Structure 1
Amino acid sequence: MGARLPVSIRDVALRAGVSVGTVSNVLNRPDEVSADSVVRVSRAIEELGYVRNDAARKLRAGVSTTVGFVVLDGQNPFYNDVVRGAEDEASRHGIAVLYGNTDEDPARERLYLDLFEEQQVRGVLIAPYGDITARLQKLRARGIATVLVDRFSGDGRFSSVSVDSVVGGRMAVEHLIEAGRRRIAFVGGPFDIRQVNDRLAGARVAAEDSGAHIDLEVVATSAMTVEDGVAAGARILARPRREWPDALFAANDLLALGLLQSLVVEGRMLVPDDIAIIGFDDISFAAAAAVPLSSIRQPSRMIGRTALRIVLEEAADPDSIPRQTVFQPELVVRASTRPR
């Protein structure tokens, strides 16, 4: 039998039949709460054995001057920009950011989280691979604030800063359809990454709601790198010409640039005359590509700044209510999706 997780403020709220915010007010500002709520929350705390972690509060409030940041792919300029935004915000508070790249490897992810826990960082920002809820709960129990980056917290247990990838996927395919494309391939993977699934889900919504007959297929990749994009392009070119799609929606810009490189170098398909390509993230290389790449823009630096600000606030007040910050994506149209 595994170790029992510590009682959380959310457990207390559920037992008392009140909101998490009410519990937080009872603990920190009881004069602002009704007497009935104070009684109900106090009874729930006693029944559940909730212990307020004042040692954690002190650690979070100022002993540590470092924050850990774990990203999925350190070679992706999108994450570099997110980290840069976090560093910009951290410098305003006299905080240093320790950075770790998992390269989409769960073992490396565990290694960095263990390291940051040992270092007793003030907080951890993480763009996770798969579901790591239990591991993040352990960090929080040890007094380390945690915020999800580029990933929405579906159950609301943790604060998160993300972009609506479903909306972004829908925008990309709606744009391709408006440009006259009907045989569209979504290129991306692995599907253990939530963002890949969300972008594909949005693409499917756009295809289903278009009112036209749209053939949407999936070309799976093992990673989201330029090399995987080149390989996916080669697989598409190996098909009979009648089976070629007339548009590609890549799960990120690195894949899109690899697809563009494969098709242009081979010279067998013209972009955008034969095939349109759109990516996701709008990294700096997108506009400078041989054929300037259309993309779905994420406010990368704003994501990093916001996540760093939230983790510091939660470090100072461990009873604060987790919040979900969701930015909206933006369609950036360039030559790679020009209408025929």
Structure 2
Amino acid sequence: MRAASVKDVADRAGVSVGTVSNVLNNPDRVATATRERVLAAISELGFVRNDAARQLRAGQSRTIGLVLLDAANPFYAALAAGAEDEAAKHNSTVLLASSQGDPRREERYVDLFEEQRVQGLLISPVGDPSARLGQLVSRGVPTVLVDRDAEAESYGSASVDDVHGGRLAVEHLVADGRRRIAFLASDPGLRQVADRFAGARQAAESAGAELEFVRTSGMTILGGRAAAADLLRRETAPDAIFCANDLLATGVLQALIMDGRYRVPGDVALVGYDDIEFASSAIVPLTTVRRPAEEMGRTAVRMLLGKVEVEHTVFKPELVVRASSRRTGDAAS
């Protein structure tokens, strides 16, 4: 069964197509009785306007495309919520896509959003986005990177100083006497991961501590659990684990508790990254590096809608110390 059209509504209401258009777009121009008759026909036929087509005809869109690295991660969900909230204030909507860390999937979404003539694009890219995003900007599509800094002159960015964040985490661990630190992440080539590890390495080298990059199967709870299980099978386990996000840290905590030989934080201190909602409510509340996810999303939308030529906002992360790294706050293993 085909969808009802504007002509179907006009025929049912006994008016012209132009009158139906006025009811939809300029209702004050239509007499009350006629307007009510058209609205009744719309209801009876279940008519839904094709707003995308209308916007294309008008040459204007009120839709913002948002491509995230991983929409399943609560950090990115919070970022998207902030973007949606800010967009709604400006009568715009956000269409969300998740690349899942796959550059080809990311490219398909960028192409799709360009085909849809979006108002602008927000993107947390997998790799180097400069060539493709430069094309978008040259074609009049405002673009802002989220959770990634940009040095390009053609598009803006809203990011976090992840080098500083990594340094904060390891400085905290070495100040507590930790000397064998494992850094867990899935992809050392991902910019956010590389920056966090760089900051962690700076702090470890300054303190004379060991720091090892341990690659995980994914940036997930299961990835953290599997990597921690491997670490605990070693003859000498690390005395601290710094995870590139809170999902990994949650998996590590589960592995430590299931193993039963190590107290957290007495034997192994644990630090995550992001401060997602349930970090504070874990069985051993997680020490983590907080990033302002919602504010990052709101800021990126404001940049986009302001259509600034260049603006780069870098947020400072904050260390949030909880029981998983406090020796005086040892929790049950």
1:32 — aligned with what? none
For 2:99 and 2:62, locate their aligned partners in 1 and report how far apart those are by CA, in whole Å: 23
Q: What stretches of structure 1 of length at least 5 have no aligned partner?
A: 1-57, 315-319
Who is 1:231 aligned against?
226
Task: Report the counterpart of residue 263 of structure 1 in structure 2.
Answer: 256
Work out whether residues 152 and 324 of structure 1, in 8 Å CA contact, stay in contact via their aligned partners in 2: yes
Alignment of 1:261-340 (within 5 A): 261-314=254-307, 320-339=308-327
Contact 1:129 1:192 in 2 (8 A): no
Corresponding letter in the other structure for 1:325: T
Q: What secondary structure does 1:63 align onto? A: coil
Partner SS for 1:111: helix
AA of the residue aligned to 1:277: L
With the length of structure 2 as denominator, give the TM-score of the two structures: 0.79
Deviates more, 1:275-284 or 1:156-165: 156-165
Write the deviation string for residues 72-101 of structure 1: whole angstroms up to 9, x where unpaired.
011100000000000110010000000001
**Counterpart residue type for residue 313 of structure 2:** T
Determine which of 105, 127, 131 is the counterpart of 2:128.
131
What SS class does the counterpart of residue 86 from structure 2 fall into?
Answer: helix
Aligned length: 273
- Once residues 249 and 156 of structure 1 are traced to their aligned partners in structure 2, the CA distance between those partners, rounded to angstroms, is 34
* Paired residues for 1:61-140 under 5 Å: 63-140=60-137
158, 163, 178: which one pairs with 2:155? 158
8 Å contact from structure 1 (residues 169, 203) kept in 2 = yes
Corresponding letter in the other structure for 1:227: L
Which residue of 196, 199, 203 maps to 2:196?
A: 199
TM-score of the aligned structures, taking structure 1 as reference length: 0.78
Counterpart residue number, 2:244: 251
CA distance in 2, matches of 1:220, 1:154: 28
What displacement does 1:157 show?
4.0
Name the residue aligned to 1:184.
181
Q: Deviations over 1:248-306 (max 9, x none)?
A: 01001011111111111121221111100000100001001110000000011100000
Q: Distance in 2 between matches of 1:117 and 1:321?
A: 19
Identity score, percent = 54
Residue 174 of structure 1: aligned partner: 171
- Alpha-carbon distance between aligned partners in 1 of 2:141 and 2:284, rounded to the nearest angstrom: 45
Alpha-carbon distance, 1:246 to partner: 0.2
Give how far 1:153 is off: 0.7
Q: Secondary structure at the match of 2:196?
A: helix
Task: Give the direction of change, closer, same or farther, for the CA distance of 1:322–1:290 in structure 2 (3 Å limit).
Answer: same
| Paired amino acid for 2:211 | L
Distance verdict in 2 for CA 1:329–1:62, change over 3 Å:
farther
Task: Return the match for 2:215 from 192, 216, 220.
Answer: 220
* Aligned CA-pair RMSD: 1.6
**Alignment match, 1:15:** none
For residues 179-230 of structure 1, the C-alpha deviation after alignment (integer angstroms, 9 at most, x for no partner) is 22111111112122100000000001111223xx301111112421111101
Counterpart residue number, 2:19: none
Q: Contact 1:180 / 1:339 at 8 angstroms: preserved in 2?
A: no
Measured in 1, the distance between the counterparts of 2:154 and 2:314 equals 15
Q: Which has the higher contact order (CA 8 A, sep 6+)?
A: 1
Name the CA distance, whole Å, in 2 between partners of 1:234 and 1:207: 24
Structure 1's consecutive aligned runs of 4 or more residues displaced over 3 angstroms after TM superposition are 154-157
Counterpart residue number, 1:143 = 140
Q: 1:278 to 1:156 in 2, by over 3 A?
A: farther
CA drift at 1:156: 4.4
Q: In the aligned structure 2, how far is the partner of 1:132 from the partner of 1:201?
A: 21
Query: 1: distance between equivalents of 2:191 and 2:93?
Result: 28
Q: Is the 8 A contact 1:280 1:295 kept in 2?
A: yes
Query: Which ranges of structure 2 fall in alignment gaps of 5 or more residues?
Result: 1-54, 329-333
Q: Distance in 1 between matches of 2:204 and 2:259?
A: 29
Which one has a bigger Cα radius of gyration?
Answer: 2
Instruction: Spell out the pairing of 1:38-49 with structure 2 (5 A cutoff).
Output: none
Deviation at 1:178, TM superposition (A): 1.2
**1:322 maps to amino acid:** V
